[in-house]
Amino acid sequence: MGTNSESTPTMDTEDDAPAPAQFGDDTAVCIVSVKGLKENWQKWSDEHQEYQKHNPFSHDAKPSTVVPQRGQDDYGRPLQGSMTEQRGKDAHTRISREIEELCEVIRNIGKPSDFDGEGTSCDGKSVCVEFGKLFEHYVTISNKLVGILLRARKQRLVIFEGEMLWQGKDDHVVITLLQ
């Protein structure tokens, strides 16, 4: 209809590429030149390679610290000063507190006995309680009674028959506090 005031389109070269168009603060910059696409790809590639250096599941990862080998003293232990080490220490403290509390409950509700761990009489330092009675008292304190009992047995604070205790089935098993 009328005259076209726009000039005919021309091909952009790398040197005279238009400025990138921006579409607001939260949208990405749209680069239309080949040079811009190449730069964006190279930037992404460099960032990805740097990320892969720290990714423990990548084949490109180089351990930044010396990892202990099997047979060394620190093998299977978290790195010194790490968050994992701190969480382990905190868990150990909580479990130790629960074991002390369990021993106190056994002292309070149990009866003194003449058991020294080998079936002979001793001076009455041991205290015995049946599992059922202990379960009824301790269930209001913690829901981890059996796990705490197993840990206390491992530390030679208590002894009882069997590998595991089950509520109802093992209510008459005697638990002996040794200290």
pTM over 0.85: no
To the nearest whole number, what is the mean pLDDT of the chain?
79
By three-state DSSP, how is residue 72 classified? coil
Does residue 5 carry a pLDDT above 90?
no
What is the tens place of the pLDDT at every residue in 103-140? Answer: 999 999 988 876 555 543 344 678 999 999 999 988 87
Residue 51 has pLDDT above 60, yes or no: yes
List C-alpha distances in Å: 11 to 8, 15, 37, 40, 84.
10, 11, 17, 21, 59
What CATH superfamily is the domain 91-177? Costar domain (1.10.10.1540)
- Domains of the chain, residue spans: 20-64, 91-177
Residue 45, Cβ neighbours under 10 Å: how many? Answer: 10
